[in-house]
Amino acid sequence: MISVMVVDDHPIWRDGVARDLVENGFEVRATAPDALAAVRIAGAVRPDVVLMDLVLGESSGVDATREITNALPGTRVLVLSASGEHGDVLEAVKAGASGYLVKSASVAELVDAVRRTAAGDPVFTPGLAGMVLGEYRRMVQSPDDGPAVPRLTERETEVLRLVAKGLTARQIAERLVLSHRTIENHVQSTLRKLQLHNRVELARYAIEHGLDQD
């Protein structure tokens, strides 16, 4: 069963989304009304997916997304917002969100999006994905954009180098004396930060950036 946390500052909407998810077979582990509570509760319940609103009263869903994805590599954030502005979507993706759905989506679309997000797929409301992800990848690949490039940790970079050399997650775990699950978490975190879909794209990215060289 996929576990979910719902973050929204409107109680009626928050409770309604939680109820819809439970009725469709999800485990709603918690809800939160603001960014601070979202970060604290997510760390405690560790859901598979966090449904995150962007405007949370005086706090920011973008900030909460960044903190949660940095602290919990195994948790994915799917933004559920009233805004469909490209700038808002881009900020959410830069913060680590795996997908972005507008609140006009149907329950069926929401259920499908949560399932796909839990499976590791990037999920976006139709019409947003192409332009936003194209712009984000351009920023990632441009050396002149500085801070816009996602920053990997030393461990993520080390794992990425070994992925580029063709090692499997299990082989990397043995070489670094870490658990297989830890390596998988680092790989998923790196995929999310670079907005790549799979290990083939990850290896290609690493080779293009010279990370396969000693």
Given a cut of 50, is residue 190 above it in pLDDT? yes
21, 28 in Cβ contact below 8 A?
yes
Lowest mean pLDDT segment, chosen from 66-70, 77-81, 204-208: 204-208
Given a cut of 60, is residue 214 above it in pLDDT? no
How confident is residue 135, by pLDDT bands cut at 50, 70 and 90?
low
pLDDT in tens, 33-43: 999 999 999 99
52, 64 in Cβ contact below 8 A?
yes
**Average of per-residue pLDDT values in the chain:** 83
What residue type is assigned to position 35 of the chain? A
pLDDT in tens, 114-133: 998 998 877 888 766 655 55
- Of residues 42, 40, 69, 65, the one with CA closest to residue 55: 65
Q: Specify the pLDDT at position 164.
A: 75
Given a cut of 80, is residue 2 above it in pLDDT? yes
170, 180 in Cβ contact below 8 A?
yes
What is the rounded distance in angstroms from the CA atom of residue 26 to the CA atom of residue 111?
Answer: 9
185, 176 in Cβ contact below 8 A?
no
Q: What percentage of the chain carries pLDDT values higher than 90?
A: 40
